[in-house]
Every structure is written in structure tokens, then in C-alpha cells.
């Protein structure tokens, strides 16, 4: 069922109803520049998005393998762990995205899109490129359906995902509230009506410490990891899918097959041919994403 978001122009598709008492892991992925290499750098790129076909969509090398590993889980059977996506693309692209996920073998439980038509009808074209307010409204809308879940978030360094995820975690834990929340959202460039929407959505949720476990940021633009130190330990920057797979294995969220499958995918992808996987692993160990022992075991696999 598709339903509008509360006051913010969202298009939300939920295909799986979790138990109200579900307190297990939920994985929330930003589609654009985190799973798919969608470009938002200019109005020309924005205009092309609704016209693309599934075959035009390029997955970031290794990310489908990570998503499949998260879905599979670490138990003896198939875990079917909940995965939800958030995209600033228009909902008219849903069939294309769904087809691409089918081609990649990526299963999902829901997708939230930014409703471009509603944005333009509201005479707010700036919302097409504004991301913090959109991301917070999308996350809080989804959270209402899974208020006890432990969330793991995935984004990139193209927009302001680290800031949005940090604000989201603080809002859920009630670390940020009242005038301080209003001020923090304003400082992040969130418009007044969008701030009201965010705070209204937040007011319907009970405070929950540790609701967001980690927020992984894919360094699509090569931003130095130290840039995100101010968000530590919540935000974890990763340079590629292999580092992400290793970090998730270290946390017990994927099994040992994930790193091996990602490695094969990166080696098979021509665009990743120059990627030095050994250097990637060394960097992951040096930054504490994974232990040297686990990295050695993954290398032997």
C-alpha cells in the first residue's frame, strides 16, 4: 500500500508488516550512491532519472553481495532480515528500481521515495535537492512502523547522510529535543515547515536509547574518513564494499561468505580492476573496522 508521508511529500511502500514488538535488526539503505550509482550533481542528471531503465542502473560493485548477505543473516537458515530503502528519486521510478533489484537478487521489504510531483505542486522545487529534511522525515515515518527495532543505516558522502543519521539517532534517544532540536535542524538547513514535520513525527515515538546502532557511510567521493570523526562512534566511513562486508562480519551481522563474495564481485568488475583489495583490507584493520585476525581469515577464504 502506498501512502503519503505526514506533511512531507513522501511516497511510502511497505510490503512487510513486522510485529509491533519486533526488536531485532532492521537495515535501512539509501539507494542513490550507496547501492545504485545515481547522480544528483546537476539538474540535467535529475531530469534524466525518471527516464532510465533498469538496465541503465549500475549497482556499486560489491553492494548487491553485501545486501544479499545481510538478508541471509548468520544463522543456519535463511534469516530474511528486514531491509528497507530510502530514495530521493521520484516514485515513478519504483518499477525500474524493483526490476534492477530483481536482476541483482536483492530482496527488500519497503521503499520510501521523495514525491517529486507533490514537491512541484507545492511550489517548493528546492526540496528536490534538499536531503537532510527529507531523510529525517523518511526515517521517522518508517520508524513509526517498527518503534522497537535496532536500526543499522547505510548512506554516502555525496550529500549529508552522516549529519542526517546523527540527528536521527539523537532525536530518537531524546538526546536532542525541544529548542535544541529546532536549532540543530535549522543549522542543518532544514526549512521551518520541514522542521515542524520532523518534530511532529518524533513526538509520536517513545524515546529509545541505542535505537540506531551504526550508520555506515560509503565514501563515493573519497572524502577522508577523518572528516567523520565528529560523528564517531555512530558513523563508520567505508571506502568500498569489501570494507563494509568486513565491518559487518566483525559485528556479527553477516557470515564469512560475504567478504569472499564481495571480493569476487570486485575482481570481476572492470571498473574495479584498479582497486587494491589488499590495501583496502589493510586500511580497514588500521582504522579498527575489523580485527587483524578476522581480516586474515577472510583473506584465506
pLDDT digits (tens, 9 = 90+) for 223-246: 999 999 999 999 999 999 999 999
Tally of domains in the chain: 1
Give the chain's count of helices (H) and strands (E). Answer: 12, 8
Strands of 110-114's sheet, edge to edge? 2-4, 10-14, 110-114, 83-87, 25-30, 150-156, 212-218, 235-238
- What residues make up the domain containing 289? 2-300
List the one residue out of 144, 167, 188 whose CA is nearest residue 153.
167
Cell numbers linked to 180: 535544541
Q: What is the Cα–Cα distance from 242 to 44, expressed in whole angstroms?
A: 32
Mean pLDDT of the region 25-44 = 79
Confidence category of residue 12, pLDDT binned at 50, 70, 90:
very high
The reported pTM is 0.92
pLDDT, greater one: 173 or 273: 173
Contacts with 42 (C-beta within 8 Å, 6 or more apart), sequence order: none
The percentage of the chain sitting over the pLDDT mark of 90, rounded to a whole number, equals: 72
Amino acid at each position: 500500500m502506498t501512502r503519503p508521508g505526514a506533511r512531507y511529500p513522501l511516497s511510502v511502500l511497505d510490503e512487510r508488516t513486522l510485529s509491533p514488538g519486533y526488536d531485532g535488526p532492521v537495515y535501512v539503505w539509501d539507494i542513490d550512491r550507496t547501492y545504485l550509482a545515481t547522480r544528483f550533481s546537476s539538474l540535467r542528471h535529475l531530469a534524466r532519472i525518471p527516464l532510465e531503465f533498469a538496465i541503465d542502473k549500475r549497482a556499486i560493485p560489491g553492494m548487491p553481495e553485501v545486501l544479499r548477505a545481510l538478508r541471509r543473516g548468520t544463522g543456519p537458515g535463511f534469516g530474511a532480515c528486514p531491509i528497507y530503502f530510502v530514495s530521493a528519486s521520484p516514485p515513478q521510478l519504483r518499477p525500474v528500481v524493483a526490476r534492477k533489484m530483481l536482476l541483482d537478487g536483492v530482496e527488500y521489504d519497503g521503499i520510501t521515495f521523495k514525491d517529486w510531483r507533490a514537491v512541484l505542486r507545492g511550489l517548493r522545487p528546492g526540496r528536490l535537492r534538499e536531503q537532510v529534511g527529507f531523510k529525517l522525515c523518511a526515517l521517522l515515518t518508517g520508524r513509526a512502523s517498527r518503534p522497537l527495532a535496532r536500526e543499522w543505516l547505510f548512506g554516502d558522502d555525496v550529500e549529508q547522510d552522516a549529519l542526517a543519521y546523527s540527528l536521527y539517532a539523537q532525536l530518537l534517544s531524546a538526546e536532542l529535543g525541544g529548542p535544541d532540536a529546532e536549532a540543530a535542524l535549522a543549522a542543518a538547513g532544514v526549512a521551518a515547515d520541514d522542521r515542524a514535520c520532523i518534530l511532529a513525527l518524533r513526538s509520536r515515538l517513545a524515546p529509545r536509547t541505542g535505537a540506531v546502532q551504526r550508520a555506515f557511510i560509503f565514501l563515493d567521493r573519497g572524502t577522508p574518513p577523518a572528516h567523520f570523526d565528529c560523528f564517531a562512534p555512530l558513523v563508520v566511513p567505508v571506502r568500498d564494499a569489501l570494507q563494509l562486508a568486513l565491518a559487518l562480519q566483525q559485528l556479527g551481522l553477516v557470515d564469512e561468505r560475504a567478504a569472499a563474495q564481495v571480493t569476487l564481485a570486485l575482481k570481476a568488475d572492470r571498473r574495479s580492476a584498479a582497486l587494491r583489495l589488499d590495501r583496502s583490507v589493510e586500511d580497514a584493520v588500521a582504522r579498527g573496522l575489523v580485527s587483524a585476525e578476522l581480516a586474515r581469515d577472510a583473506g584465506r577464504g
